[in-house]
Amino acid sequence: MRLGREVHLVSRPRGRFPAAGDTRIVEVPVPEPGPGQVVVRNLFMSIDPGLVLRTNDLSRLDIPDFTPGEPMWSDAIGEVVESADERLGPGDIVWHRFGFRDYAVAQAGEFRRVDPDAYPSLTHHLCFGLTAYVGTEVAQIRAGDTFFVSSAAGAVGSMAGQLARLRGATRVIGSAGTPEKVRYLKERLGFDDAFDYHQDVRPRLPELDVFYDNVGGAQLEAAIDAMRPRGRIVMGGRNEEIRTGVVQGPRNMMAVIGKRLELLGYYTFDHPELFPVFDERFPRWVRSGEIVVAETIVDGLENGVDAAVNLMHGAYVGKVVLRL
């Protein structure tokens, strides 16, 4: 019988992040597929901030948290190796949500076949282009807008800045955590300006039409002050709150009223009408070089949890993908 490894959550972390003993790798038998099932050998899996939230039972989203004693999960790309369903056959490449394991066995409907030639790399099927695309659409970016995105060197921010440019923004600005990331934004991703958020943010911000907020805290407060009347703030993440555990709301909410600003929290899967458009446009932009997929590859299932923790401490550029 085939054997495979799974990462199980042993217990909820006592601190902000999983530590030694909170997770373990378990070797388990991989069953033969039952009627309507397939067996998928995982190739790559997604590492994202939500993994840390789900270990702590803090996600507060319509996504299940991890359960102690059971396997963890994440988005993944794999290859079908056995099938008992006519919809999928051996060799098909599929996207699914059974990461953190070598093999996934489930009903065929839990897997979505993807085109292995759609992107230059299979890893690009795990990039957060869809999340950024939906966010820039709901922000209603218009020609001539000045656009600012926080955590701009991250998986979502790096996509959002480039998509804003394609939508007509004439000035794209990003914040990042190191001078190296700042240079990457300007020299590789084509941002007009970028700065290290450890500096004073306020002097670096011109008048803004749109702010794509992945962080919250002081950067959100500074952006509110910099917004033009009737500007739009799209709220896609709270990385600073996740990292520190400190809830820091903006102290200038009266400016939101006075400027008639729009603050919109969004969830990608609330907008399925945008998915077909994304599937048609985004791969073409990547293949043509109009969009650069920033990513970091980490090797080994045994390094998946540490990669999630390192991500929260700013260790990587772009989308973090674990290669199994």
Res 37: pLDDT: 98
| Token representation of residue 176 | 């990042």
Query: Per-residue pLDDT tens for 248-281?
Result: 778 999 999 999 999 999 989 899 999 999 999 9
Res 63: pLDDT: 67
- Is residue 29 predicted with pLDDT exceeding 90? yes
Res 59: pLDDT: 56
Res 144: pLDDT: 96
Res 269: pLDDT: 87
Whole-model pTM: value is: 0.90
Q: Spell out where the chain has E strands.
A: 3-9, 23-29, 37-47, 76-83, 93-96, 103-107, 112-113, 146-149, 171-176, 193-196, 208-213, 227-235, 262-265, 295-299, 319-323
| Token representation of residue 79 | 């290859």
Q: Which stretch of 13-17, 116-120, 177-181 has the lowest confidence by average pLDDT? A: 13-17
- Is residue 240 predicted with pLDDT exceeding 70? no
Res 107: pLDDT: 98
Phi and psi for 98 in degrees, rounded to 5?
-115, 55
244: confidence class by pLDDT, cuts 50, 70, 90: low
20: confidence class by pLDDT, cuts 50, 70, 90: confident
- Is residue 156 predicted with pLDDT exceeding 60? yes
What is the arrangement of strands in the sheet containing 171-176, beginning at the earlier edge strand?
193-196, 171-176, 146-149, 208-213, 227-235, 262-265
Query: Per-residue pLDDT tens for 193-238?
Result: 999 999 899 999 999 999 999 998 899 999 999 999 999 999 987 7
What is the spatial distance between Cα 157 and Cα 151, in angstroms, rounded to a whole number? Answer: 6
- CB contact at 8 A, 298 and 47: yes
Between residues 52 and 110, the one the model is more confident about: 110
154: confidence class by pLDDT, cuts 50, 70, 90: very high
Query: Per-residue pLDDT tens for 159-192?
Result: 999 999 999 999 999 999 999 999 999 999 999 9
Percent pLDDT > 70 in the chain is: 95
Strands 103-107 and 37-47: antiparallel
Q: Whole-number mean pLDDT of the chain?
A: 93
Q: Spell out where 10-161 has E strands.
A: 23-29, 37-47, 76-83, 93-96, 103-107, 112-113, 146-149
What is the spatial distance between Cα 301 and Cα 44, in angstroms, rounded to a whole number? Answer: 10
Between residues 119 and 238, the one the model is more confident about: 119
Instruction: Say how far residue 232 (Cα) sits from the centre of its chain.
Output: 21
Res 58: pLDDT: 60
DSSP 239: H
What is the spatial distance between Cα 197 and Cα 61, in angstroms, rounded to a whole number? Answer: 27
- Is residue 49 predicted with pLDDT exceeding 90? no
- CB contact at 8 A, 140 and 273: no
- Is residue 78 predicted with pLDDT exceeding 60? yes
What's the average model confidence in pLDDT over 71-94?
97
Query: Per-residue pLDDT tens for 178-187?
Result: 999 999 999 9
